[in-house]
Amino acid sequence: MDLKTGLVGSSSSGSRELDLVIAGGGPAALAAALYSARYDIEHIVLESYQPGGQAALTAVIENYPGIKTISGGDIVAAMKEQAESWGAVFEMASVISADPLKDRIQIKADSSIYMTRNLIIATGAAPAKLGVPGENKFYGRGVSYCATCDAPFFRDARVLVVGGGDSAVKEALHLSEFVSELVLVHRRDKFRAEPYLAEKLLSCGNCRVLWNTTLKEIKGDESVEGVILYTPEGEKELKLDGVFMYVGRKPATEPFANLVELNDNGTVRTPNIVHTSRENVFAAGDVTDNDLRQIVTAVSDGARAASAVFDLMQ
């Protein structure tokens, strides 16, 4: 195999012939790449939207075994470097469609077509939108989905964080180091986040939590100037400068809708960990219906998927 291009053969139509295409660029794809390279499977990793995945946008990771604390960007960079050192082949390309063709899968990407015997879908998920008025209008003008990226622009500002899971609380803690005042609204009366994170937020000096509260509207002229909330006491208006949303994730599965069974929420159905409804297609990480979505479970999926491809090829 040509290690620079991943080209192992060409069909008459000009497509590349491979044993495995790994779609995605986050921890699940990187682990699958590492294991595939070590199994000597002829492969290519198509780093689609957002190389490094959601993990790369996480400020601090403290729950990956063996590493006390590390930034998301650093851990995915280390994973990629390790995979490349074993011969993993990466290409920056977005998968547009994936269709079964006899015993192969035809993958159409930005500028190439790949014919592969096996596919690992590890395309992850993007932040979901809440769909409230003002959300789209003020995106990049006070509305953000990434505190790690945008917190420094809100130094000494007042911000709202929406959500109650690990991401919301973790990113709120990161934001609290920059802003003068942080209000977190959560639609329930307790957090879904890890108790350690929840306690840390509740004891944060410049943070306030409004329970059983939802965001109704984001207001402003050129940028965010305030919000209207639904609280148990009725509607309430708050003056503030930024809104950070952590209300779930939308799996990036559209190109694979004709290939494998999806759940109603768009995740790939994997009743038997990493195995999908098609024998030669596997799924790993946040794109699946796994109940726990962490880096540690994503890399486990990636390793299992590569191992399953290796077994299938024997």
Partner 1 sequence: MAVKHIMSNDIEEATSATDKLSLIDFSAAWCAPCKMLDPVLNKVSDDLDDKISFYHLDVDESPGASSEFGIRGVPTMIVFHNGQEIERMVGFRDRNALQTQLENLADSKLV
**What minimum distance in Å lies between the beta carbon of 112 and partner 1?**
12
- Give the whole-angstrom CA distance, residue 72 versus residue 60: 6
Helix, strand, coil abundance in the chain, percent, nearest 5: 25, 30, 45
Residue of 258, 308, 264 whose CA lies nearest to 283: 308
Q: Where are the beta strands (DSSP E) in 173-248?
A: 181-185, 207-210, 214-220, 224-231, 234-239, 242-245
Comparing CB distances to partner 1, the nearer of 136 and 212 is: 136
- What's the longest Cα–Cα distance across the chain? 68
Closer to partner 1 by Cβ: residue 52 or 165? 52
Q: Which is nearer to partner 1, 42 or 47 (CB)?
A: 47
Q: Which is nearer to partner 1, 126 or 313 (CB)?
A: 126
* CB contact at 8 A, 215 and 243: yes
Other C-beta atoms within 10 Å of 48: how many?
Answer: 24
Minimum CB separation of residue 248 from partner 1 in Å reads 18
Give the H or E element holding residue 195.
helix 195-202
**Residue ranges in contact with partner 1 by CB under 8 A:** 48-52, 56-57, 72-73, 92-94, 96, 110, 139-142, 144, 146, 148-150, 152-154, 222-223, 242
Alpha-carbon distance 301 to 295, whole Å? 10
Name the minimum Å distance from CB 93 to partner 1: 8
CB of 33 vs partner 1, minimal distance in Å: 17
Residue whose CB is less far from partner 1, 146 or 238 = 146
Catalytically active residues are 146, 149-150
The CA radius of gyration of the chain, in Å to the nearest whole number, is 21
Helices 27-38/72-85 angle, 10° precision:
20
Please state the closest distance from residue 221 (CB atom) to partner 1, in A.
Answer: 11
- Evaluate whether 82 touches 48 at the Cβ level (below 8 Å): no
